[in-house]
Structure formats: C-alpha cells, structure tokens
Amino acid sequence: MAIESEKQMSSVDSTIVRIVDNIKKSDSDSWNYRGLELSNEMLVVLISHPNIDKAAAALDVSIGSLADPRDVPGIAHFCEHMLFMGSSKYPGENEYSKLIEGNGGYSNAFTSGDHTNYYFDINPSLLPDALDVFAQFFISPLFSASSTDRELEAVHSEYEGNLSKDAWRVSQLEKSTSDPKHPYSGFAIGNSETLRVTPKQRGVDIRQVLLDFHKAQYSSNRMSLAILGNQSLDELQSLVMKSFNDIPNKKLKQVKYPADPYGETKRKTICYVVPVKEHRHLTINWVIPDHKDLYYCNPESYLSHLIGHEGDGSLLSHLKKMGLATELVSGEKNAAPGFNFFTVDLELTIEGLSRWEEIIYIVYQYMAMLRKEGPKEWIFDECKNFNAMHFQFREKERPDDFVSNLAGRMRDYPLTECLSGDYETREFRPDLIIEELNDYLIPSKMRVFLASKEFTSIATETEKWFGTQYKQEYLPEELIKKCETCELIPELHLPKPNEFIPTDFQLFSKEKHTSRPQLPIKIKENEFCRLFYGEDTFYRLPKAYLYFELRNPLGSADPLHSNMNALYVELVEDSLTEIVYPAQLGGLQYELSALNYGIQLTVHGFSHKIKQLLETIIDRMVNIKVNPQRFEIMREKVKRSLQNFRRDVPYQMAHYGVTYLTAEHQWNKDELLSCIDGITAHDLDSFITRMLTRFFTDSLMYGNLTKDHALEYMSLIEQKFQEKRFYQPLFPGMWFNQRELTLPEGCNYAYTMLNDAHKLHAIEIYLQCFPQTLENNALLELFCHFVDEPCFDQLRTKEQLGYVVSSGARRSRGVQGFRVIVQSARKLDHVNQRIELFIDSIRDYISNMSDDIFKKQREGYMVKKVEIPKKMHSQGNKFWNEITNHQFCFDRPQLEVEIIKSLELKDLVQFYDHYIALNSMHRRKISVHVNPSAIALQGTNDKKSIVDEENELAAVPSEELPSPTNEDNAETIIEPAVEPIVKLTEQPLIIDPITDKDSKDKVIPEKQINLPEAEWIDNVHVWKSKMPCYPLAQSYEKIDIPVLCKL
C-alpha cells in the first residue's frame, strides 16, 4: 500500500490539516491530483489540467435512505430534493440552475441506500462562481416552507413514474419482504402517503422532520468533495479554502448497519413474482459479510468471476446446452456499511421456468465443484492482472460522472488510492473465499425470487408500495437437503487460462500528441468495400475501434426478413458467448446489430488481440449452423421483445411513433409480431445465404493501429466471406439510406398509440423544419439551446405539467426540426394546449433578451459544442455516424461553431416566425399521443387516490430522454432487435435533476390560440402514400455513392 505523503498544515493554514500529493494514477493519466483533509474533516480531491474543457464538482454525503426514520420513509430523498432550494447567501431558488444551465452546464443529484450525491459541470471559467453557490447549500440551506409542498409533489410523481418498472418493483419487493426491523426493509423513494398524508394524520410537521433529519445526518465529516478544473491545483485549493471550510462539523459517527437484512425467518423462501413485462427471471440472494475494509482481497470478486463466467465449463454454458437459460449475472449488490449481498440472476427459457428447482440444484453443483477445487492463486492473479490493465489504460469519463463517482468512493479507500481502489487486488486470501462458500453461499441461507406472468393465478399477495403481485412461501425442504449434498458432474469445471489477455501495449503512432483528434481519411475503395482510417494522436491509449456496416436492404424487405435478420444476429451472438467471453474479460468487446439497411458490427478494445477476436466473429457469421433448440429459444426471445413494446415507458413510445410516422418505409411492431411464429430454422438458413451473398461494407478503423493494420483487417473480412462464395457487389439502388416524408405546410397531424403498462400519458410534438446542412444545423441548435431551459422551467417547474419534459432538435434520415416531449398524468388535449401556449411565448422571450445575455449564452453553447469527447469510443462513434449517415463531415463541430458565431438574435426570430410560430403558414406539425389502454388502467393497483392526478409529475435525468443529436440512424436508437434484459437484482438509484424552481413566477395565462384543426391519422399506410419525401442529405467531402456493382 502506498504511504500517504502528508503535510501537516496547522502552522501554515488552519483550514487544511492534511495534503496528499501522491495519489496513485495510471501512467497514461496526464491529469494532476491532490488530496486534502479540511479542519472540518471534509475530504477533498482536486483534479487539474490546463486543457480541461469542462469543469465539474461533486459533493457526496455518506448517508442515504437507510437512515430514514421508520415512521417517515423517503425523507432522505426528500431532503435531497429540498437542499438546492436556496441558501441564506443566495436565497433565489433559481440562481444555481440559471448559472449552470446558462453556461453550457448540467446538474443533478441522487439518493442511494448509504449515499446522497450532488454534482454539476460548467464552463471552466465560471467554476469559482458555481462553487461558491454550491457550497452555500451545505452551509446554510433555507428549506423554505413555500417550497416544501411543491417539492413533495415532485417526489410523489417520481414514485408514480416508476410504478410500472420491473426493476423498481422487484427491488422494493425484496426489501418489503426482508426483516421489518432492519433499515433495508424501508421504502426509499417516498411518496405523498409517507411524506404528507400519514404525517398530517399524526400531527407531524414534515418541514420540521426535514430540518431534524438534516441536522442529525448532514455533517462535514461525512462529506467528500471532488473538483475538476483547468485552474492549477493551488488555485483550486484556494477555492476550496474560501468556500467549503465553513460547512459545520457535527462530529457524527460513520454509520454501520446491522449485518443481517433478511433475518432467520426470511431465509429458505421463494417469492413468485408477476412482472409487468414479458420475461422470466430466477434470482438467488444470500447475505454475506461487508468486506470493504479488505478491498484489496475482494473474495466476492473472485467468486463472481467464476460463477458469472460464460466460457467452457461454466454454469451458464451448461444451462444453455440444457436449454434452460439464456443469460446469467452474478456478484455483490446493494452493499452498505455492515452488510452485503451476493446474487445469481438468470434469464430463463420457457423450459427453464418449469425446471427452476433443477436450475437451483445445478447452481449448487457448481459451488460444490468450487469447494472441491479450492481457491486457485493463478485465477486470482489473472483477475489481478485484468484489474491492473483496466486501471492502467482506462478511458476518461464525462466530467460530471467522474467527479460524482470519485466523491462517492473517497471514504472507501485511503486518499492515495481514491482512483485505484476499485481496481486494487493484491492479497490472495483463500480463507475468505472458503468462508464465503462454506458459511454464506449455502442452501439454508438463500432467498429465491422467480418472476413470470405464469404466476398471475397464484400470486395472492400485493406489495404495499408498488402493488407488485406475488406469493411467498418456504422452499421445499427436500430441495434444501438435495442442494446440500450435490453430486459433481464433469460438465462443470474451472475455466482454462485466458488466451485473450493482451501483453503488448505499444502505441503505433509516431506523431506528437495533438490538441484535437485527427480526422479519418479514406484509404481504400472498390466495388466491395470502402475503408476510412483514423490514427489516434489525442487519447494515446493502446486501443482500437473497428466499425463495419454490411449493407443489404434485404434484411428489411418485409416484416419476415426483418425478423430473420434479428434472429440471425441473436443466434450469432448466442453461439459466440462461450468463445468470446474470455476476450471480453481481456478488455475486448463487440456489438452486432440488425438494422433496417443490413447488419452492423463493432469490435473494440485493446489493439493487441483485436484481430483474433474479429476473425473469430466473422468466421462464426459465415459458418454458423442453426441449432434447432437455440433457434426456438432465440425466436421466443425476439417475440417477447416485440410484445413488450406496448409496455415501454410512454414518452419512449411517443418518440418511436414520430420516427415511424415520418419514415418513408418502416415496419411497425404489430407487423413484425404477426409473422414471427411462422419462421422456421430452414427459412433462416436460406435467408443467411441470401443476405450474405451480396452486400457492401463501409468501415471505419480508428485508434491505435496503422494503415497496414486497417487494410489487413479489411482484407480478412473480404477473404472470409469470399471463401464461402459470398460477397458479390451490391446493386447501386440498394445502397442509399431511407428518406424522410415531407410534411405539407400548414399541417397539424396527430396519431394515437396505446400503452399496456403505464397509466401516464405522453405526447411528442414535432415541428419539421428543413434538411440537415451546416447552416441549418447551427441555426436549429442555437434556437434549441435558448429554448431548452425556459421550456423545462415553464412546463415542468412552474406548471408542473408533466412527469418528463424535454425540448430540443430532432434529427432522423437527414431531416430535422424542433420537438417537445411531455409525459404526464393529465389529459393530452390539455397538455397539447399548454405546450402550444409555451411555444407562442418563445418569440417574446427571445425578442426581449438583452444583447449581452444573448452573447453570453451563445458563447456558452459554442464552448459546449466543441468540447472533445472524453472517451475514444465516443469520438469513434461520432466519426462513424458521419459515415453511416453518408455525410462524412468529420470536423462538423468546428465548422458549425463558426456559423453559430455569426448568428444574431434576429436570425433566431426569423427562424421562429417561419417554422415555429403558431400563425405561420409554413409551420408543419405532427404529434403522437400515447394513452393508457384498458389493460393498463385495470392491470396495476391504483395509487392515484393519494393525490390528485393534476399533480403527478417528476423530473428525470436528461440522459434518459431521446437524444436530440444522435437520431440520424434512428433505427439504431429506437428499434433494438431485442430489448435489454431487466436485471431484477439491480438496485435503482433515485435520481433528480436540480432545476429552477422559482415559485414567484406565474404560469403563462390562458388565451385563445388559433391552430389548424388536428387531422388524426387513421390508416398510416394510406396517409404515407400521399406524401412526398425529402432528398437525402448530401455529403460534405464529395464522397459520393461508391463504385458498387458495375452494370
């Protein structure tokens, strides 16, 4: 362990009692770090580098919902909501949010079981101002009485928004059925019942409870602060000394919770759970000791590595061969000081659901094998090498994520290891591994959760907070005894040494470090392929990113072919699991996707073994044999994903609806679902041959590789396909992207969709504007930047109109416009009216803006626009999007910023008058309305009696909303072939944006607005048949249609 380089500061400065200058970092990390301990016992880590283009800060309080008073659940979360509602020094409720958001920044907060975490990022020049406002919330927060009731509604609405999400429902069920005397059994998020109705009935003042909780639980000696900026370490240290030393130290103890959240009576039980979506999951949980003080031994990591392994001899491999399971995740979860859990979570097949007892027995057979083999030091060393490698070459995170994560773990490790602590694995302790296997991961201490809609008829109990239907009973004693005396079987054995661990980390580029990433260039083109190459001279990591698009529109010729394309991809991925898993452990990843225009493959990670992985994947794509058993399982998986579409979150359905309606051609979910059952293994075999016979490959190879490497990898693909007599040139007419419908001027179309799971409504209003060009992009983006904050402030904060409120640019298939999304409990005719009234107010808002404010906000957006992605992967994705969109504008941010620099207020007003204004004859509007179906209204317990529907809203983090800038390949975002698996062991965080909540501002008054009468779309196909299409967006570098087939 490194010895802290400590300087005692009492004789120099009473604010700082300790400085740590030797924080362990990787050799590839050029940032500078310094650790501090203030006189009030707050821990601080400063991060500095002159080239940082986005500053950030986070403060973590090591207390969370586990500290809730038993009679007022949700108070920790409510306190998090209330903390930023003004301070004595800065009493305005909106000063903080306007400072952050007006200067290209973002702020957020979350509450977990044992942490409450607040963070923001901002233009670096404004970091000192932001830190002073930020610090005051922890020195003298107001907790104003006028804000309490409104924020309570926001908390309740957040709860309402999660009622139909399976991850939340099962997580709360596990807690509610735990030992009722343990804090773990509480209701973390809170709602109107716990925070208003019940306290009122008992004569309790909820504001006083808030004040008491803050006084009893918030103290500087429980706080950790991380600050990232382009100022020097000494300058950042001065900012800390100026602002944060006055946070009071109440000398509170670090909390440690009782060691057993389940209790003896809750063990050996099974809960049969009815999920909202169609899925089948088996979860086994055990309580294990809290080994956080032995982080450098980490016995849980060793066991998780083996139990969760997916290679030859693994638990998952055996269960897949038996046709019982498709996915497995294992490891520790929900850890808090004093206790921890170990979990094994399995996604089951239909057959697996009926044989769940057998699966549990096989899990214990695997553990019996681990006991017999005993802990192996070579496996520990392999894990140790993995961790060291990933730490040494880890990519930077987004600034706000980086400081938030760092602040959250600073008290888990010595300050010298605050960066490396999660990766430290240096002491092999076989005794701890054996103890965990023998004393904790045993049949008599397990709890089982089995989720499937098959249990609807037997689930006679209802969980109090989320209304989840379930039935709990004790496991059969015969099963417990059988699992205690398992027979060993040869199919389950330890993995072999990993051949994919890279050992060569040399950097191939001889160029000097550049200030921005180099742009890709085209290095090969023929009738079969086109290859772009980008050398990394910026990130300087031994990693590469290989992108391939195998374009053949046969994959979406009709719903049958679209399903077969998805099935082909699923079967390839399924068959590769055992082979590729060692590569994934060694830092290599791949993604294979079925798209409207063909198949996309991405391979990325350490350069050393990337060719080996690429060759393995292509070989399997070419030579796959359709296994009838796996075919049936994958077909059912794809079908389940299609069925679950109508249970998605409403605003996501609305977003999909606009994409579907404006597409020249796209199959809807009902069409795909109608023909999935008829596909046979023979059909798929035939499809694969036809799909791979004729296609064109676009490729980008970016990162730590040479031109020769890139050409070699491209030749490898050509050779592999041509060996099977595949890969003929594509016909020119098959190369082009899909086009977007041109909505007629003056239109006001509307379309309704039904949701089977959520009682909330959602609407997306889309005002189609123009094709994508540099000039159009710059104008629309700047307009959206100015409108985003007032839209959220008006519709969400002041009017409390919707659960989700978002505005921004919507882009798909080379066309773009302005969109507003609202998810709400209110009727959508009212929501639509309020959105339009807000849109009507935008002109005055922009016109009355002072020139000084306009220039400052324009500058703030320009800084944000040219911010370099912190991860090489993110930069590679940006370049790749330019290629798949056929626009090839690799230096787009810089070119568009030059145009933004010349835009004035009058340009925004002219844009508004032409495309956005309610009275403009050029306005083109389409809206999608998502309403709860009869199934949704009847299917879940009605919690709405707690408050009036008018108040049901909440905020969600903006990253959950549809991206306004990455929609050119809409099908890659909106239509995954198979929905991501819901991990029922996942502990959801309670996440809230910090927003402007100035209660003194009034809502926009009602007034008569004249809109064309909505024309409701009934038959989509007939409606589309009458519409013209936009031309495709043109390329910027005269990189036009490739050579393709010579006719």
CB 840 within 8 A of CB 1011: no
Torsion, Cα of 887, 889, 893, 895 (10° steps): -110
Catalytic site residue from 80, 332, 382, 971: 80
Rounded Cα–Cα distance for residues 122 and 108 (Å) = 12
Nearest to 307 by CA among 292, 320, 317: 317
Pairing status of strand 696-703 against strand 529-535: parallel
Contacts of 912 (CB under 8 A, 6+ apart): 783, 842, 843, 846
Rounded Cα–Cα distance for residues 309 and 581 (Å) = 8
Contacts of 733 (CB under 8 A, 6+ apart): none
Rounded Cα–Cα distance for residues 474 and 443 (Å) = 12
Cα 203 to Cα 200, 209, 541, 662, distances in angstroms = 5, 12, 61, 55
CB 283 within 8 A of CB 330: no
Residue with token string 């994508």: 772
Contacts of 274 (CB under 8 A, 6+ apart): 451, 452, 453, 455, 456, 459, 468, 469, 470
Nearest to 997 by CA among 142, 121, 208, 115: 142
| Residue 1031 burial by Cβ neighbours in a 10 Å radius (0-12, 13-18, 19+) | exposed
Phi-psi category of residue 334: left, alpha or beta, with phi > 0 → left and psi -120 to 50 → alpha:
left
Side-chain half-sphere exposure of 373, counting CA atoms within 13 A: 21
Helices (H) and strands (E) in the chain, counts: 33, 28
Rounded Cα–Cα distance for residues 290 and 303 (Å) = 15
**DSSP one-letter code for 513:** P
Cα 377 to its chain centre, rounded Å, is 35
Exposure string of 200-225, with b = 16+ CB inside 10 Å and e = fewer, is: eeeeeebbebbeebbeebbbbbbbbb
Active site residue 80: yes
Nearest to 931 by CA among 763, 805, 765, 819: 763
How far separated are the first and last CA of the chain, in Å rounded? 69
Residues classed as catalytic: 80
